[in-house]
Chains A and B, each alone.
Chain A
Amino acid sequence: MYFQKKIDDPQGFMLFASILYFFWFLMSPSFSLRNIAVGLICCLGVTYFWSPDLFKAGQPFRIAPRQVVRLAVYLLLLAYNVVVANIHVALIVLSPKLPISPGFILVKTKLEKELTRTLYANSITLTPGTITINLNKDRLLVHALTKETAQGVYEWHLENRLREMEVGRVD
């Protein structure tokens, strides 16, 4: 039965529930008694319902402060890239001749951890002109709007940033 399950990891359960409860109070309008009670019930219920899926850690990861700084720099660079590339796509869409040459490109990524690979694939999708269709181990299948954007995926400098964040050096 889906509703009869044991809690294997009480510490993790409490951690998730308290994170949800904190978030509830950030979103809730007031500290009335009803709010507190409803929030508590909802957080415990949601955590209990999803508890088999929540506490499986695939690869252990720990975060150094330097990595957080690099992640922040990376996100800023990504935002800048998104704006620039968005203007590019807007020019393509608005031009009367519609200069597109769509296609698929299969690239190999240097990244090794699942987390950074996911981050990289999502960054490619966020950057206009390219969509990640499939990510299978180190094979990325990307759909590109023009041939130039496909070339851009092949030699993207932000991948080196992620690699630097992952292992602390560029190779």
Chain B
Amino acid sequence: MLVYELFICLLLWSGLFFLFVGTIGLIRLPDLYTRMHATSKCDTLGAGLILVALMFLVGRPEVFKLLMIGVFIWSINPLITHVIGYMAYLRDGEHLPETFFIDCYDLPYPGKEMSGKEDVHA
């Protein structure tokens, strides 16, 4: 029984750790796109770990609800991230000056450096 509770504690604390890392990344990283990396991703794993820990804690009917919450988080989070990123991209969101652009679309010359942002528009 003690091992079981320790396991749940480990899951909860690792979920908290990833949420914490996401928040730190939001503060530390320099521009909008990189900040999105930290918040959206670490939130998915952190929330997922906490939900798994709660699934071990609660009774059987609630497990399904928690599972549905997990499925919704994991399917909606990439969507929202994509929308924010796309809008920032369309409106020329500021990015770091050393940001690179690589075009891997034309297969004979993979890794060709693009001259600028205009080339990316399909």
* Interchain pairs with CB closer than 8 A, number: 126
Beyond A89-B42, A104-B120, is A126–B100 a contact (Cβ under 8 Å)? no
Within 8 A of B (CB), among A10-61: 26-27
Q: Is chain B's interface secondary structure helix, strand, loop, or mixed overall?
A: helix
CB distance from B36 to the nearest CB of A (A): 6
Q: Is chain A's interface secondary structure helix, strand, loop, or mixed overall?
A: mixed
B102 near A104: Cβ-Cβ < 8 Å = yes
The 0/1 profile, CB within 8 Å of A marked 1, for residues 96-119 of chain B is 101111111101001000100000
Beyond A94-B24, A100-B34, A103-B101, is A126–B78 a contact (Cβ under 8 Å)? yes
A101 near B100: Cβ-Cβ < 8 Å = yes
Give CA–CA (A145, B94) in the complex, Å.
15
A86 near B42: Cβ-Cβ < 8 Å = yes
Taking residues whose C-beta sits less than 8 angstroms from the other chain, chain A's interface range is 35 or more
B29 near A98: Cβ-Cβ < 8 Å = yes
Give CA–CA (A125, B28) in the complex, Å.
21
Within 8 A of B (CB), among A116-166: 121-122, 125-129, 131-134, 136-137, 139, 141, 143, 145, 147, 150, 154
Interface membership of A113, Cβ < 8 A: no
Taking residues whose C-beta sits less than 8 angstroms from the other chain, chain B's interface range is 35 or more
Beyond A27-B65, A102-B33, A106-B120, is A90–B103 a contact (Cβ under 8 Å)? no
B21 near A90: Cβ-Cβ < 8 Å = yes
* Contacts A90-B17, A90-B18, A141-B120 supplied; 17 other A-B pairs, CB < 8 Å: A86-B18, A93-B21, A93-B29, A94-B21, A102-B95, A104-B99, A106-B104, A106-B114, A122-B78, A125-B81, A126-B78, A128-B37, A131-B40, A131-B85, A133-B86, A134-B122, A141-B122
